[in-house]
């Protein structure tokens, strides 16, 4: 079998792939910085003629799968296959293997780092110095006084792997952790299960860590946002579709809450409609980089290779294949 690798891969795992398959074509998108959309994807699949596609950003759609029927499996280096038409893959009998947990630590560290950055006013204070405003007679110690994270109430919406990793870091600050997650039956150790309304109204920081589903799309509404404490901080490093961003912009402009940290937008790069939110002075926007570390490449390579081994051996497919309906064919 031939594998076509379009995702960045660690060298040791790439060598392992070469032992697993007869031929490996390694053309990561990072070499050019460009993902393939469906026309480019189809063109290159026809050129390479692979049995196995390992991707991260490339679009695989009905058009791609109808135009090239040689794929036996797709390895997608993402927690969920947002770049793939899952229903089309299932119709064409192509199982999808994902890499859940690949960026858990990266996101957790970044979220806590950004919270500290905002609470201690690091960015505006640094810009104040760069602008030449630190002059005799000024008192930056008082001008840029912030808040400590120690002992704050932090509420999570969704309490999976990333939330647990964030909570573990926050334990070092003696934060009081609560969470809303309908899939968990009760408290998780010293982490307290709460209603969604209580998470928003009682927390000093609310942070989202959950996927987009029919039940979570648009679940963070204006009433929830307006129920937050005046000094509260809202964090979204999950998915934009979970939040009513128009409502968030109104809440921020009305100074109902202290601020927001946003790593995900409805449209990336941002378009004109996103600018109102971006121009709010109490917003820290990062360009969807919370999960961007060099170590993530190592993590995703190892996770996917382990899953490819299971797929080749036909082992534990119910827990390995994302689109499990394909196994019924």
**DSSP states of 109-173 as a string?**
HHHHHHHHHHHTTHHHHHHHHHTT---TT--HHHHT-----TT-EEEEES-SHHHHHHHHHHHTT
| Residue 188 CB-density burial (10 A; 0-12 exposed, 13-18 middle, 19+ buried) | middle
Q: Which of 35, 226, 288, 324 is catalytic?
A: 288
| Domain spans in the chain, listed from the N-terminal domain onward | 2-102+294-328, 104-285
The parts of the chain modelled with pLDDT lower than 50 are none
Q: Write down the H helix ranges in 21-133.
A: 38-48, 62-67, 86-91, 104-119, 122-130
**What is the rounded (10 degree) CA torsion for 239, 242, 245, 250?**
-130
What CATH class does 104-285 carry? alpha beta
Contacts of 222 (CB under 8 A, 6+ apart): 244, 247, 250, 251
**The pLDDT value given to residue 158:** 98
Q: What is the pLDDT of residue 272?
A: 85
Tell me which residue of 241, 172, 186, 187 sits closest to 210, measured CA to CA: 241
Whole-angstrom distance, CA of residue 286 vs CA of residue 265: 10
Please indicate whether residue 239 is annotated as part of the active site: yes
**CB–CB of 168/111 below 8 Å?**
no
User: Do the Cβ atoms of 150 and 200 come closer than 8 Å?
Assistant: no
**Which stretch of DSSP H or E encloses residue 225?**
helix 222-226
Indicate which residue of 78, 239, 299, 307 is catalytic. Answer: 239
Q: What is the pLDDT of residue 328?
A: 87
Provide the angle, in degrees to the nearest 10, between the axes of the packed helices 104-119 and 294-313: 150
Q: In whole angstroms, what is the distance from residue 292 CA to residue 296 CA? A: 7
2-102+294-328: CATH topology is Rossmann fold (3.40.50)
Domains 2-102+294-328 and 104-285 share a fold: yes
Catalytic option among 268, 271, 295, 315: 268
Per-residue pLDDT at 278: 86
**Residue 40 annotated among the catalytic residues of the structure:** no
Any catalytic annotation for residue 34? Answer: no
Structure-token pair, residue 246: 């128009």
pLDDT digits (tens, 9 = 90+) for 161-206: 999 999 999 999 999 999 999 999 999 999 999 999 999 999 999 9
d(CA 327, CA 249): 44
Cα 139 to Cα 118: distance, rounded to the nearest angstrom = 20
């Amino acid at each position: 079998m031939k594998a076509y690798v379009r995702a960045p891969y660690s060298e040791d795992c790439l060598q392992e792939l070469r032992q697993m398959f007869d031929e490996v074509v390694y053309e990561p998108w990072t070499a050019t910085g460009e993902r393939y959309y469906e026309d480019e994807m189809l063109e290159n699949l026809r050129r390479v003629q692979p049995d196995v596609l390992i991707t991260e950003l490339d679009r695989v759609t009905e058009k791609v799968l109808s135009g090239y029927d040689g794929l036996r499996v797709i390895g997608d280096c993402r927690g969920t296959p947002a770049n793939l038409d899952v229903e089309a893959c299932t119709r064409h009998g192509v199982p999808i293997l994902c890499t859940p947990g690949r960026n858990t630590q990266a996101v957790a560290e970044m979220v806590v780092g950004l919270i500290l950055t905002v609470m201690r006013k690091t960015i505006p204070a640094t810009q104040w110095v760069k602008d030449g405003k630190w002059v005799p007679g000024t008192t930056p110690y008082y001008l840029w006084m912030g808040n400590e994270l120690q002992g704050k109430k932090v509420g999570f919406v969704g309490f999976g792997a990333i939330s647990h990793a964030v909570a573990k870091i926050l334990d070092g600050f003696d934060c009081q952790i609560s969470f809303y997650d309908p899939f968990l039956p009760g408290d998780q150790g010293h982490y307290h299960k709460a209603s969604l309304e209580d998470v928003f109204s009682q927390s000093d920081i609310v942070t989202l860590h959950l996927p987009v589903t029919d039940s979570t799309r648009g679940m963070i509404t204006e009433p929830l946002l307006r129920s937050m404490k005046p000094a509260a901080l809202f964090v979204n490093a999950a998915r934009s579709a979970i939040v009513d961003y128009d409502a968030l912009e109104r809440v921020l402009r009305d100074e109902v809450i202290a601020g927001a940290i946003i790593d995900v937008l409805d449209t990336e790069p941002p378009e004109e409609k996103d600018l109102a939110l971006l121009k709010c002075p109490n917003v820290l926007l990062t360009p969807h980089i919370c999960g961007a570390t060099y170590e993530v490449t190592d993590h995703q390579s190892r996770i996917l290779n382990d899953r490819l081994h299971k797929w080749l051996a036909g082992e534990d497919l119910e827990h390995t294949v994302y689109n499990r309906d394909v196994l019924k064919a």
